[in-house]
């Protein structure tokens, strides 16, 4: 077991891999990360699958078979993605069972083209969950206004949800509110309230967005401050009277997950966000390159303070520099939806291009 990743695991934070490829499954690489690098879960998104399918021939035979049966490009993609993710879910199943369902999860995202379609998202989440037939597979739904309504209904429907594309404390609280409303409705209906969820806050895109707008002393500080402020809200929520009432009925907390934790600034440490965001009862989903860097030379120091630490002071400095974090959060979420939608269209084009002539 790697000392660096194990120490981070020992803080109470769980490490998930932000990547999946069929080669990773076939070669035993993912199994090795589980055994040696304390990886206890996995996330995916349209960009990850676009790179996996376009950069390999390992999917070609499956694409040809599905195309011969008349499958649409989207239908082929979900067949490929479910094949990979159910294999991954089975690898993590012992962790899932040993943790009582707290850990050992994988995630599959609905089409990003549904980001502003509540009814379509609800239907897609139910269909994908049923097709996967794995208790440790999250369906990812973006935390857009339309997605928030879909999250509440999907939780009520008993579907584990990974809320993606959250960029601020306010985004997180909206997602947490949807989760709690869904759970409360299940309790009122006499249904099991033990439905898992995570809320994924994106970090590094904040710093990339303001790099050209601020002086060097401000670089690579905003994302961490946003995370610290959100962590304070998370700790307050899980100790609130409203949540404790749901917990007493059998509900489990919706854990906070750090996403987009690979450094985008070449002048910064490649383990910057991993070291800065160590925090109990959270998840950090690491790009493969970042995971390997942390395993090689990462350091575990202080964990995030539950009271938000110096976050408000840092954010006030950015306000004085003309950065409106509320407006920027909305912009980043919009850009995130657009980026995943672009990857989705490119993915469909790649699959179409691999169809037999």
Summarised one tens digit per residue, pLDDT across range 110-165 is 999 999 999 999 999 999 999 999 999 999 999 999 999 999 999 999 999 999 99
What mean pLDDT comes out for the span 61-83? 96
Of 258, 146, 269, nearest to 206 by C-alpha is: 258
Q: Confirm whether pTM is higher than 0.85.
A: yes
pLDDT at 311 over 80: yes
Pairing of strands 197-202, 282-286: unpaired
Q: Are 334 and 146 a contacting pair, CB within 8 Å?
A: no
pLDDT at 232: 98
* Average pLDDT of span 8-19: 97
Would you please indicate which residues are annotated as catalytic (active-site) residues? 140
- For residue 4, what pLDDT is reported? 97
Whether the per-residue pLDDT at 62 is higher than 80: the answer is yes
pLDDT at 27: 97
User: Can you list the pairs that 273-278 forms with residues at least 24 positions away whose Cβ atoms lie under 8 Å?
Assistant: 273/203, 273/204, 273/223, 273/224, 274/8, 274/298, 275/299, 275/300, 275/301, 276/224, 276/227, 277/203, 277/224, 277/227, 277/304, 278/8, 278/11, 278/13, 278/302, 278/303, 278/304
pLDDT at 205: 97
DSSP character for 38? Answer: -
Q: What percent of the chain has a predicted confidence (pLDDT) above 70?
A: 100
Q: Is the pLDDT of residue 357 over 80?
A: no
pLDDT of residue 55: 85
Domains within the chain, CATH numbers bracketed: 3-351 (3.20.20.70)
CA distance 196 to 198: 7
| Helix/strand/coil percentages in the chain, nearest 5 | 60, 10, 30
Place of tokens 């985008």: 264
Quick one: what percent of the chain has pLDDT higher than 90?
Answer: 98
Please name the residue ranges forming H helices in 240-310.
241-248, 272-276, 288-297
Q: What is the pLDDT of residues 164-205, one digit of tens each?
A: 999 999 999 999 999 999 999 999 999 999 999 999 999 999
Chain position carrying tokens 């950015």: 318
Taking residues 38-57, report their average pLDDT: 94
Average pLDDT, the chain: 97
pLDDT confidence band for 237 (50 / 70 / 90): very high
Spatial separation of the C-alpha atoms in residues 307 and 289, rounded to whole Å = 31
């Amino acid at each position: 077991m790697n000392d660096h990743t194990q120490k981070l695991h020992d803080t109470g934070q769980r490490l998930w891999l932000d990547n999946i490829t069929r080669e990773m499954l076939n070669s035993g690489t993912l199994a090795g990360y589980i055994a040696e690098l304390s990886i206890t879960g996995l996330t995916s998104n349209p960009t990850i699958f676009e790179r996996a399918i376009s950069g390999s021939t390992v999917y070609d035979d499956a694409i040809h078979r599905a195309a011969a049966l008349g499958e649409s490009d989207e239908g082929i993609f979900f067949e490929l993605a479910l094949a990979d993710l159910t294999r991954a879910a089975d690898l993590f199943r012992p962790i899932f069972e040993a943790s009582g369902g707290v850990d050992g999860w994988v995630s599959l995202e609905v089409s990003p083209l549904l980001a502003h379609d509540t009814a379509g998202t609800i239907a897609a989440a139910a269909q994908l969950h049923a097709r996967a037939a794995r208790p440790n597979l999250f369906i990812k739904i973006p935390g857009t206004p339309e997605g928030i309504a879909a999250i509440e209904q999907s939780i009520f429907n008993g579907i584990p949800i990974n809320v993606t594309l959250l960029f601020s404390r306010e985004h997180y609280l909206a997602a947490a509110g949807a989760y709690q409303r869904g759970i409360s409705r299940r309790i009122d209906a006499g249904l099991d309230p033990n439905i898992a969820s995570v809320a994924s806050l994106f970090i590094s895109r904040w710093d990339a967005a303001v790099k050209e707008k601020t002086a060097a002393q401000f670089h690579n500080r905003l994302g961490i401050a946003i995370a610290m402020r959100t962590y304070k809200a998370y700790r307050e929520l899980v100790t609130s009277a409203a949540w404790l009432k749901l917990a007493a009925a059998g509900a489990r907390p919706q854990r906070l997950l750090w996403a987009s934790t690979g450094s985008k600034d070449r002048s910064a440490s490649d383990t910057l966000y991993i070291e800065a965001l160590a925090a109990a009862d959270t998840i950090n989903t690491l790009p493969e390159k970042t995971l390997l860097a942390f395993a090689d030379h990462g350091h575990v120091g202080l964990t995030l303070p539950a009271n938000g630490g110096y976050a408000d002071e840092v954010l006030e400095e950015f306000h004085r520099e003309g950065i409106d974090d509320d407006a920027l959060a909305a912009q980043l979420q919009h850009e995130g939806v657009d980026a995943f939608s672009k990857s989705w269209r490119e993915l469909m084009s790649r699959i179409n291009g691999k169809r037999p002539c």
